[in-house]
A = this chain, B = another copy of it.
Amino acid sequence: MQAKAVVLVSGGLDSATVLAMAKAEGLDCYALSFDYGQRHRAELDAAKKIAESLGAAAHRVISIDLRQFGGSALTDDSIAVPTSDAASFEEPDPAAAEIPITYVPARNTVFLSFALAWSELLQAQSIHIGVNSVDYSGYPDCRREFIDAYQNMANLATKTGVEGNALTIETPLIDLTKADIVSKGVSLGVDYGSTVSCYQADSSGRACGKCDSCHIRRCGFEAAGIADPTRYVA
């Protein structure tokens, strides 16, 4: 029997790559997405498409409402999404970065907790999440020490863990640049044209080309020397 894995799939570039990598390892993959009050649904449409095209055994979308707590540009309409200087193609320096306004409080903690619930029921052996040093850029819950602490806690939290069947939290992208990630995904056949990274994509999933997330993504394709398949608005 194939080992089971829960894979967090947002609809973006990173998590699509993570899913492709887990499939390439021969894992039976259960894709998990969240409807958490994002500004657009195009991400979730993309997640569904990606889960299907990469052969996930199942795909679940969990509705949670972080808007009830407010406090982030990604979930609070009263805060503007910051934009990058589109002329600059340098990747941001994670060490120098301040915690950005697009930070959603405890987001990965919340997402991993649902993944943990599902993985216990599935008796999955691992949870895969696409955190990496570029996406980090100031997000506390994208760092390795957070992931290690989460894994330790998870194995004390569940029946499965207590019975000695250790669960691992896999972060295959954590040390990769965006260019490395793109190259890896292309080699595994990921169709990045169906992924959505933009913080303010339109309803059909077309990217603004201006926000930090678009900027980082475009830099990745540039640096990898791969044509950018992103569908932009203009």
Interface residues of A (CB under 8 A from B): 60, 62-66, 68-71, 99, 103-110, 112-114, 116-118, 120-121, 140-141, 143, 145-146, 149-150, 152-154, 156-159, 161-162
Decide: A121 and B158 in contact? CB cutoff 8 A: no
- Residues in B with CB closer than 8 Å to A157 are 106, 108-109, 140-141, 146, 149-150
Chain B residues near A152 (CB, 8 Å)?
149, 152-153
Q: Given the complex of chains A and B, what is the CA–CA distance between A159 and B140 in angstroms?
A: 6
Known: A70-B121, A156-B140. Contact between A62 and B65, CB under 8 A?
yes
How many Å lie between the Cα of A63 and that of B113 in the bound state? 15
Which 9 pairs, one residue from A and one from B, show the smallest C-beta to C-beta distance?
Answer: A106-B117, A149-B153, A105-B117, A105-B120, A146-B156, A113-B113, A110-B113, A106-B116, A71-B121
Q: Known A152-B149, A152-B153, A153-B153; judge A158-B68 contact (CB<8 A).
A: no
Q: How far is the CA of A66 from the CA of B114 in the complex (A)?
A: 8
Neighbouring B residues of A120 by C-beta, 8 Å: 71, 105-106
Indicate if the CB atoms of B99 and A159 lie closer than 8 Å.
yes
- CA distance in complex: A153, B148 (Å): 8
